[in-house]
Chains A and B, each alone.
Chain A
């Protein structure tokens, strides 16, 4: 983060805590377990992005650092997709 204005770290923390509390309350939503799982993982993804972009300063970093953060996620996604046939064929 070269000469950039730092994020409001406390405001980011407030959002993180709010999303964590929302995840805990997700079980009260109508729609059953599928809705709960979708909501808690969506909230987790937003929380992870808030931490990575603001606390880890990814939004201020050059493309090389972005690549170092994203490429392993792509590898993990490929692994997850590669495991799907195991799930489907077992049924």
Chain B
């Protein structure tokens, strides 16, 4: 499957470099700032983890099963959103809609499971004030969940507003969604497996 440079183009949008449109550079700039936000949190958590602040003992109270299912959901939604782009690039509107719908469903399922997890932990007495691990846990997963919710909204808009759904916009929405997936790829081992 060859994806031609035209699919990146939005009519009238300037090119920063040949074949590289301004919108994509803007999204990568945005992701760069997001990398520093989450990277700062993850680096700080790693330092605390290495400092032996009872991280592992607190982490052992988390349910790995729900988080593992959520990991599989996000990995799969990364597949569906990139398939939405591929379908949009070849002009297959039905496949684009189906892939975007699956991506939105994956994001909603992730948030629902996260809500179940939060409820279980709070009922067990583990709140953000219960210790340094729990402060990091709620801050990092809460911020990540907000990003998932934003991604769901973006993909839902592309799903229902067919007029806005250019291949380039589907690709840019996908870039953001993959970033959210990559953040979770590191949060999962840091919080649940270490």
Q: Which residues of A contact B (CB under 8 A)?
A: 1-6, 9-10, 12-13, 16-17, 20, 23-24, 26-27, 33, 36-37, 40-41, 43-44, 47-48, 51-52, 55-56, 61-62, 64-65, 68-69, 71-73, 75-76, 79-80, 83-84, 86-87, 90-91
Contact = CB atoms under 8 A, between A and B. Distances in A.
Contacts of B75: 13, 16-17, 20, 47
Q: Is the interface of B mostly helix, strand, loop or mixed?
A: helix
Contact of B17 (A3, A41, A64): A64
Nearest to B78: A55
Interface residues on B, range: 35 or more
Contacts of B186: 44, 48
Contacts of A90: 51
A86 B51 CA distance: 9
A69 B175 CA distance: 12
Interface string B70-91: 0110011011011100100000
Interface of B: 1-5, 8, 16-17, 19-20, 24-25, 28-29, 31-33, 35-36, 39-40, 42-44, 46-47, 50-51, 56, 64, 68, 71-72, 75-76, 78-79, 81-83, 86, 174-175, 178-179, 181-182, 185-186, 188-189, 193-194
